[in-house]
């Protein structure tokens, strides 16, 4: 392989790795929210794990019982943290929390049940998918 071919290969690999979900820039934090509970999620809050308040619910966070929703948002300019906390408010009156979720690598969060404000959930990460 000559120098031009090596350069082209290196440039292609670098470009491809930069386009992967959860790449070093960490700005795309989209994931699927799978609500397997019997109640509708009426409000969904996302906050950096280091934040002291929840702020406003995200616009596209409401997810019906048994439905899957694409949660799309970009990280803010406050840093490159990957770890976020969630607050979910259900139409049953229950509020549940998930803590310290790595959204740079998560592709799906499945909420299975809620017990005393604690959600039973499963997170699917990039390495878990085939």
pLDDT (tens digit, 9 = 90+) per residue, 2-57?
A: 555 443 444 443 433 333 333 334 357 889 999 999 999 999 999 988 888 998 99
Within-domain flag for 20: no
99 in a domain, yes or no? yes
Q: What would the mean pLDDT of 100-107 be, rounded to a whole number? A: 91
Asked if residue 4 is part of any domain, the answer here is: no
Closest to 44 measured CA to CA, from 71, 26, 18, 62: 62
Rounded distance, CA 124 to CA 130, Å?
A: 11
Tell me, what CATH number does 40's domain have?
2.60.40.2890
Confidence of residue 104 (pLDDT cuts 50, 70, 90): confident
| Residue 72, domain extent | 25-128
User: For 128, how many CA atoms within 13 A lie in the half-sphere containing its CB?
Assistant: 9
Q: What is the pLDDT of residues 42-94, one digit of tens each?
A: 999 999 888 889 989 988 899 999 999 999 876 654 556 889 999 999 999 99
Q: What is the total count of domains within the chain?
A: 1
Q: Is residue 6 part of a domain?
A: no
């Amino acid at each position: 392989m000559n120098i031009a071919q090596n350069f082209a290969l290196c440039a292609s690999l670098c470009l491809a790795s930069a386009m992967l979900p959860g790449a070093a820039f960490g700005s795309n934090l989209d994931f699927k929210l799978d609500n397997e509970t019997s109640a509708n999620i009426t409000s969904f809050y996302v906050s950096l794990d280091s934040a002291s308040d929840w702020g406003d619910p995200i616009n596209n966070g409401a997810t019906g019982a048994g439905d899957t929703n694409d949660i799309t948002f970009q990280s803010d300019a406050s840093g490159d943290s990957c770890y976020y906390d969630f607050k979910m408010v259900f139409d049953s009156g229950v509020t549940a929390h998930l803590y310290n979720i790595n959204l740079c690598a998560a592709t799906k969060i499945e909420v299975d049940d809620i017990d005393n404000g604690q959600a039973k959930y499963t997170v699917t990460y990039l390495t878990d998918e085939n």
